[in-house]
């Protein structure tokens, strides 16, 4: 897998990051470690998790994914080779939602302990907190960075004006700024008028103004649910309701044409588009089998022509 130089930080990472939401829970421990081993063998070094994965599923309390990654890195003695991101801000068991200073600092310590590391490479504000001043949140990140417990900070599921406001505060106060943004982003576009917040959960899809802000400020862009939970390729899975409509019909038609031209799978073309269009995204890939991860990684070998990217981008306009 190709390695890329990140913007505004002195780091080189693999072209795709591995999402580990269901590791050590719905994906049992042995299989999770096999997938991690395969990903690293393919040149991967960017692992993404969160403190609360997967507290919303009955029988689990959160922290399971972080614990497994910590065990795996310690067993393989591989920590120095990895670029590791985790998150704070959503609720889990006895931990409330929010981005208050004391909560961020406490949860960072808990994540460090579960991950068995001294430093988190990338620490995300997982979800917007309108009850807490941005300055308080950023002060917490500043304390953690000065203590050497985190290197960089990222933002996920925040509205664009909040991201801009936070970076202005960081500039004025000398706090670390958001250099990474992680959002739901796929080839299909939500219908006009769809609330910024997804209809069926608390995850936010990237709006055009947010994407413009990310580009204009040279932020690194990570995208999740790029394959919309398998809906592109799995006839048994429906697209989320906000992605169903005439615009999607037109874009799917062109997507299928380009897929046939490349000889790749439809999932691979969607991933290749996300990496090669103007956003130059780092997609989060995941799955419950090595075969799924292999198919995703092979998208790095798909080279879309400028004409194909233009056709894909203009479809439905």
Q: What is the DSSP letter of 144?
A: H
Delineate the domains of the chain, giving CATH numbers in brackets: 3-314 (3.20.20.100)
pLDDT beyond 90 at 175: yes
pTM for this prediction: 0.94
Please name the residue that has the structure tokens 């049992």: 28
Mean pLDDT across the chain: 94
The answer to whether the CB of 207 falls within 8 A of the CB of 196 is: yes
Q: What is the DSSP letter of 80?
A: G
The pLDDT tens digits of the residues spanning 45-70 come to 999 999 999 888 999 999 999 999 99
Taking every pair of Cα atoms in the chain, the longest distance, rounded to a whole number of angstroms, is: 54
At residue 199, the pLDDT reads 44
């Amino acid at each position: 897998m190709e390695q890329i130089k990140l913007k505004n930080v002195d780091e080189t990472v693999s072209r795709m990051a591995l999402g580990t939401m269901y590791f050590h829970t719905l994906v049992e421990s042995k299989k999770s470690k096999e997938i991690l081993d395969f990903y690293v063998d393919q040149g991967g070094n960017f692992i993404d998790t969160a403190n609360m994965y997967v507290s919303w599923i009955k029988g689990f309390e959160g922290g399971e994914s972080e614990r497994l990654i910590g065990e795996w890195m310690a067993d393989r003695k591989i920590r120095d080779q990895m670029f590791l991101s985790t998150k704070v801000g959503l609720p889990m068991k006895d931990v409330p939602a929010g981005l208050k200073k004391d909560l961020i600092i406490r949860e960072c310590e808990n994540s460090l302990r579960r991950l068995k590391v001294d430093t988190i490479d990338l620490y995300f504000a997982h979800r917007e907190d309108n009850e807490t001043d941005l300055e308080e949140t950023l002060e917490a990140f500043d304390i953690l960075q000065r203590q050497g417990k985190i290197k960089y900070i990222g933002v996920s599921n925040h509205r664009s004006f909040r991201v801009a406001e936070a970076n202005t505060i960081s500039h004025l106060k000398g706090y670390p700024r958001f250099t990474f943004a992680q959002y739901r982003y796929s080839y299909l576009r939500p219908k006009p008028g769809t609330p910024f917040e997804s209809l069926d959960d608390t995850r936010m899809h990237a709006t055009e103004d947010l994407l413009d802000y990310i580009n204009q400020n040279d932020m690194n862009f990570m995208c999740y649910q790029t394959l919309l939970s398998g809906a592109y390729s799995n006839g048994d899975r429906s697209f989320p309701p906000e992605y169903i409509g005439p615009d999607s019909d037109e874009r799917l038609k062109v997507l299928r044409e380009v897929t046939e031209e490349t000889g790749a799978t439809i999932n691979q073309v969607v991933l290749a588009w996300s990496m090669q269009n103007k956003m130059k995204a780092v997609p989060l890939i995941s799955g419950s089998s090595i075969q799924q991860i292999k198919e995703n990684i092979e998208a790095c070998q798909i080279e879309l022509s400028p004409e194909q990217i233009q056709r894909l981008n203009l479809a439905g306009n």
